[in-house]
């Protein structure tokens, strides 16, 4: 089988949850099929593409297609006027469209997997050039939903209005894609139900986020002390920025007053200026790190105080696989098959989140039980090998369905 994997990014190095999902999906497919990975970039990234090809450990072909820079003034204005939202305009490039035309005229594929609604311009072109090829759209989240939540929480009226406008336009794009593509994958059953309410006749399968359980089980040695309250995530992403600032301003003072020995550590690539400024308050902000496992090893808990966002949280799964108890908002654990007070602690106010963290004692019976239950859960349901089999089955079923349709005509 020949598979084209089309992403808004080259997913190596892995610096975000989106990179991680792309990387493991591509690797799982490359183990079973002849894979061509196409990722969009802003500059010359041949070295990055070659590094990804080596990481896939297969004969996969990796192509980096250069697009124009996003958030150009013209795009911002066009996104305001409509009908195309800014988040789509930022990834739409005449140069890339021409490369897609060339690729599809030179090669044939059995399935094409597209990552996110941002690539709708290319999905339209693919259906024109290769109408018989089965087109699968992977939803990392429901973009219109995230933007709507962001609009509700942003204190800046102008930004909130623009986010809501973009949310409305994004929903129209999503509805078009639900009809345009042959099948869809989402991170959770909740998202599947949301989308089925909009277009009931479409095929939508849950192919959740995962975690490399073996990798996180091999925690590098540490001094054994667990004094850190850990916040993990890419720190130029608006949902993570909002969550970190909320935690620092509303929750951390309540914890620090009662457990002054604890340290707050924020780990994640490309921290924005408001996050870097937290260093002045004595908070550790690492930026990009080579290996996240030592930070889980020294953590009392991993906190996920998200108030906006969508999808399912790779940061939750990583902490669970690493044996670090998680304290999260309900939204932070949304879409995961977790049981509160068994394998995760859920707290939706500053006071309850602070109480949950303060009550945790490293290596206590409660702490050990939370860690053990969470580890069992991810091994059974969320290891990438398990998730990858579900994805591969979808691809093979779609190829069979396409062949059946051809015979019928």
Under the phi-then-psi rule, with left for phi > 0, alpha for psi from -120 to 50, and beta for the rest, what region is 237? beta
pLDDT for 388 equals 95
Along the 409 residues of the chain, how does pLDDT read in single tens digits? 999 999 999 999 888 889 999 999 999 999 999 999 999 998 766 688 999 999 997 789 999 999 887 778 888 888 888 899 999 999 999 999 999 999 999 999 999 999 999 999 999 999 999 999 999 999 999 999 999 988 987 788 998 999 999 999 999 999 999 999 999 999 989 999 999 999 999 999 999 999 999 999 876 655 568 999 999 999 998 889 999 999 999 999 999 999 999 999 999 999 999 999 999 999 999 999 999 999 999 999 999 999 986 555 889 999 999 999 999 999 999 889 999 999 999 999 999 999 999 999 998 999 999 999 999 999 999 999 999 999 999 999 999 998 877 666 6
pTM, entire model: 0.84
* Ramachandran sector of residue 57 (left: φ over 0; alpha: ψ -120 to 50; beta: rest): left
On whether both 202 and 271 belong to a single domain, the answer is no
> Peptide bond before 13: cis, by omega within 30 degrees of 0?
yes
275 in the same domain as 331: yes
What's residue 82's pLDDT? 83
Query: Which domain range does residue 369 map to?
Result: 213-381
Both 129 and 14 in a single domain? yes
C-alpha span between 334 and 242 (Å, rounded):
17
Total domains in the chain come to: 2
Contacts of 19 (CB under 8 A, 6+ apart): 9, 11, 12, 13
What is the distance of C-alpha 231 from the center of its chain? Answer: 16
What CATH number is given to the structural domain containing 227?
Answer: 3.40.50.2000
Say whether both 206 and 225 belong to one domain.
Answer: no
Query: Partners of 137 in the beta sheet?
Result: 114, 184
**Considering only CA atoms, which of 336, 339, 262 is closest in space to residue 306?**
336
Judge if 197 and 248 occupy the same domain. no
The answer to whether residues 185 and 262 belong to one domain is: no
In terms of domains, do 147 and 222 share one?
no
- A 10 A CB-CB count for 69 gives 10
- Closest to 394 in 3D by CA, of 175, 138, 177, 167: 138
**Residue 29 and residue 4 in contact, taking contact as beta carbons nearer than 8 Å:** no
- Same-domain status, 185 and 255: no
Cis peptide before 83 (omega within 30 of 0): yes
Residues 271 and 330 in one domain: yes
Q: Give the tokens for residue 76.
A: 């911002």
Shared domain check, 102 and 129: yes
């Amino acid at each position: 089988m020949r598979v084209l994997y089309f992403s808004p990014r080259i997913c190596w190095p892995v610096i975000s949850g989106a990179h991680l999902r792309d990387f493991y999906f591509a690797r799982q497919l490359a183990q079973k099929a002849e894979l061509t990975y196409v990722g969009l970039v802003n500059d010359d990234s041949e070295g990055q593409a070659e590094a990804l090809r080596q990481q896939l450990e297969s004969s996969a072909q990796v192509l980096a297609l250069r697009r124009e820079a996003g958030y150009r003034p013209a795009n911002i204005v066009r996104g305001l006027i409509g009908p195309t939202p800014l988040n789509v305009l930022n990834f739409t490039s005449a140069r890339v469209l021409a490369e897609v035309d060339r690729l599809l005229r030179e090669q044939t594929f059995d399935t094409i997997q597209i990552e996110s609604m941002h690539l709708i311009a290319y999905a339209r072109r693919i259906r024109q050039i290769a109408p018989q090829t089965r087109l699968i759209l992977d939803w990392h989240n429901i973009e219109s939903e995230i933007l709507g939540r962001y609009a509700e929480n942003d204190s800046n009226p102008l930004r909130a209005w623009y986010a809501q406008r973009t949310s409305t336009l994004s929903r129209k794009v999503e509805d078009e894609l639900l009809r345009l593509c042959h099948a869809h994958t989402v991170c959770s059953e909740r998202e599947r139900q949301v989308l089925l309410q909009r277009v009931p006749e479409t095929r939508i399968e849950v192919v959740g986020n995962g975690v490399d359980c073996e990798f996180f089980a091999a925690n590098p040695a540490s001094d054994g002390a667990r004094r850190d309250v850990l916040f993990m995530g890419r720190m130029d992403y608006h949902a993570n920025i909002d969550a970190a600032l909320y935690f620092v301003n509303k929750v951390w003072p309540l914890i620090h007053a009662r457990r002054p020995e604890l340290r707050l550590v924020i780990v994640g690539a490309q921290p924005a200026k408001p996050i870097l400024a937290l260093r002045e308050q004595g908070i550790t902000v690492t930026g990009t790190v080579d290996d996240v496992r030592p930070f889980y090893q020294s953590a009392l808990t991993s906190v996920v105080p998200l108030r906006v966002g969508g999808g399912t949280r790779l940061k939750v799964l990583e902490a669970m696989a690493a044996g670090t108890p998680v304290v999260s908002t309900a939204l932070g654990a949304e879409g995961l098959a977790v049981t509160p007070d068994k394998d995760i602690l859920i707290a939706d106010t500053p006071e309850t989140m602070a109480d949950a963290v303060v009550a945790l004692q490293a290596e206590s019976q409660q702490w050990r039980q939370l860690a053990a239950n969470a580890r069992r859960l991810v091994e059974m349901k969320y290891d990438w090998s398990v998730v990858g089999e579900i994805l591969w089955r979808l691809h093979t079923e779609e190829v069979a369905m396409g062949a059946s349709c051809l015979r019928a005509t």
